[in-house]
Amino acid sequence: MFQKMLIDGKLVGKDSKKKRIKVINPSTEKTFAFVPKGTKKHINQAVAAAKKAFPAWAATSQKKRQDIVNKMADVVADNAEMLARLMVKEQGKPMPEAMGEMAWTEGYLRHYATLSAKGRMIQNDDDFKIETRRVPLGVVAGICPWNFPVLVPFWKIGPALVAGNTIVVKPAPSTPVTILKILELCNKFVPAGVINAVTDENDLGPLLTDHPDVAKVSFTGSSETGKKIMAAAAGTVKRVTLELGGNDPAIVMPDVDVKATAAQIYGGAFLNAGQVCLAIKRLYVHEKIYDEMCDELVKLAKGAIVGDGLQQGSTIGPIANAEQFKKVKALLKRAKKDGKVLTGGVVKSKKGYFIKPVIVRDVKDGDDIVDKEQFGPILPVIKFKDIAKVGKAANASDYGLGASVWGKDVKKATRVAEKLQSGSVWVNQALNIGPHIPMAGCKASGLGVEQSTEGLEEYTQIQVLNIAR
Ligand code: NAD
């Protein structure tokens, strides 16, 4: 399979050995598709096309823009199964999760199609009429990671388009196929140049962040890359939205129903084989229930069916690419020295980047597996005694994306939650996100907001219209 890029309403790229990139299936380690090796010329063409399309798109009525975003939701819904199968091959997640990502994407797009960025009246009297307007920015660059190859690009495309901007999308190098396929299908009704997509070998991102005709960069990915993007954007004073890494703590109070809570925590930690920015990545459990909680988690982890996402019954797919597999394996090796691995580990018997869910106990703050973002199926469980101190431990991280507190006494749990330095804080649940809920990171987890009206506003500029009467 060879899937082309989209530039100025045309499918671009030659299927020749020198000009294509392999896309590897992480379950088989075999190449299953090719995409073009994008170049500087393609980036410049894509930005030029987006710049050319911008005035007409910005002048298109809000209703028409919303209709087009709704039609994109139709494309995702009508082709969900075909697209999900494609995504499993490039990213690995089990088919039910891939179908879930399609349903999520549809839902987010439908919600964006109901939004409009509104200004406000500041003064309206005999002397002045002063109001703010929310005007689009121009060309947006959407730079994306590989863990949600369809959802995350549409988190950018949806609001960018509704607000009246045009966009150049750069998928992650290892997961470009499904998003390009969707954009090809949408090309029938999206005006030329409004959405463009360029594929790369992890080398073209800086050309977008440096480009003088790009007004804003919306980035989702690691904190390390986010810092580089922020620095690069300074040269042309680009707007940036950065949704970065996380090391989300979950704090479990002694009064919980251990079995029920363990099941929810397991779900929040191991979705997408742990490759979720907002996954539970450090679990702090009160000493009274520590052993019992570890035992319950082990039971759940042992029940996981690790395998190719296309195989019926698989509950955990592979790590999405070789580079990440290497990183997670190194962390696991270290964790074995620092703590006690109760279950799970690398599956050596078959091809593919498979790791059976790992539960590791007797680890502490300062250990790599606790302090670093593992972004894989390993859950470190840390014992705590003092509720006042555990909040401090949870906050002693450069990250601040999400956090959760679990307890029967909801008031008490909420008091602990309020003190956590995180953009999202959940009580008795995990990963409850949605298009109507703003999502923002603290500290090194990001800058700005995605989703909801607040997220939409980030794709606009305030213009003050001040009229003397
Ligand atoms: P990454 O930072 O390595 O890459 C993300 C994207 O940035 C890729 O498209 C890559 O090609 C591009 N890129 C790399 N260097 C660049 C540069 N100098 N300039 C411009 N672009 C550049 O991240 P990843 O490994 O693909 O994704 C995993 C990370 O993403 C994890 O840390 C995870 O927590 C984070 N993430 C965050 C969220 C969120 O909403 N906060 C969501 C998903 C993933």
Residue 314 within any structural domain of the chain: yes
Mutational test site, ligand 1, from 204, 219, 223, 277, max ligand atoms within 8 Å of CB: 277
Residue 360 Cβ inside 6 Å of ligand 1? The answer reads no
Specify the residue for token string 């909420």.
414
Per-residue pLDDT at 219 exceeds 90:
yes
Same domain, 254 and 393: yes
What's the pLDDT at 349?
A: 85
The residue among 445, 393, 397, 396 whose CA lies nearest residue 424 is: 445
CATH number for the domain spanning 210: value is: 3.40.605.10
Task: State whether 310 and 357 are in the same domain.
Answer: yes
Does some domain include residue 433?
no
User: Count of domains in the chain?
Assistant: 2
Mean pLDDT, residues 106-110: 98
Nearest to 3 by CA among 65, 71, 90: 90
Residue 434 domain flag: no
Residues 374 and 418 in one domain: yes
Q: Which atom of ligand 1 is nearest to the CA of 200?
A: 11
User: Sign (positive/negative) of CA torsion 275, 269, 272, 346?
Assistant: positive
| Selected catalytic residue, list 90, 106, 186, 277 | 277
197 & 269 share domain: no
> Mean pLDDT throughout 323-346?
97
Active site residue 294: no
Residue 253 has pLDDT above 90, yes or no: yes
Which of 90, 243, 296, 458 is catalytic? The answer is 243
d(CA 159, CA 467) in angstroms, rounded, equals 30
Instruction: Tell me the CA distances in angstroms from 25 to 92, 304, 439, one per residue in order.
Output: 7, 21, 31
Q: What is the pLDDT of residue 375?
A: 97
Q: Between β-strands 30-36 and 355-361, what pairing exists: parallel, antiparallel or unpaired?
A: unpaired
- Residue 320, classified by CB atoms within 10 Å of its CB into exposed (0-12), middle (13-18) or buried (19+), is buried
Average pLDDT over residues 434-463: 97
pLDDT, position 332: 97
Ligand 1 center to residue 146 CA distance, Å?
A: 8
Give me the mean pLDDT over the 355-382 stretch. Answer: 97
Domain membership of residue 175 (yes or no) is yes
Between CA 84 and CA 89 the distance in angstroms is: 9
**What domain range includes position 384?**
248-427
pLDDT tens digit sequence for 264-323? 999 999 999 999 999 999 999 999 999 999 999 999 999 999 999 999 999 999 999 999
Mean pLDDT of 113-133: 97
pTM, entire model: 0.97
Mean pLDDT of the chain: 97
Q: Which residue has the tokens 């039910």?
A: 96
Q: Which pLDDT value is given to residue 130?
A: 98
The verdict on residue 436 lying in a domain is no
Q: What is the DSSP string of 217-278?
A: EEEES-HHHHHHHHHHHHTTT-EEEEE----EEEEE-TTS-HHHHHHHHHHHHHGGGG--TT
Give the pLDDT band (50/70/90) at residue 107.
very high
Task: Give the model's pLDDT for residue 167.
Answer: 98
Q: How far is the CA of 199 from the centre of ligand 1 (A)?
A: 14
Residue 50's φ and ψ, nearest 5 degrees, are -65, -35
pLDDT tops 90 at residue 74: yes
CATH of residue 401's domain is 3.40.309.10
With a cut of 90, say whether residue 32 has pLDDT above it: yes
- Residue 350 is predicted with a pLDDT of 84
Q: Is the pLDDT of residue 255 over 90?
A: yes
Say yes or no: 170 and 24 in one domain. yes
Give me 446's structure tokens.
């990001």
pLDDT at 151: 98
Q: How confident is the model at residue 363 (pLDDT cuts 50, 70, 90)?
A: very high
Do 96 and 79 belong together in one domain? yes
Same-domain pairing of 156 and 29: yes
Query: What is the crossing angle of helices 62-78 and 95-112, to 10°?
Result: 170
pLDDT band at 72 (very low <50, low <70, confident <90, very high): very high
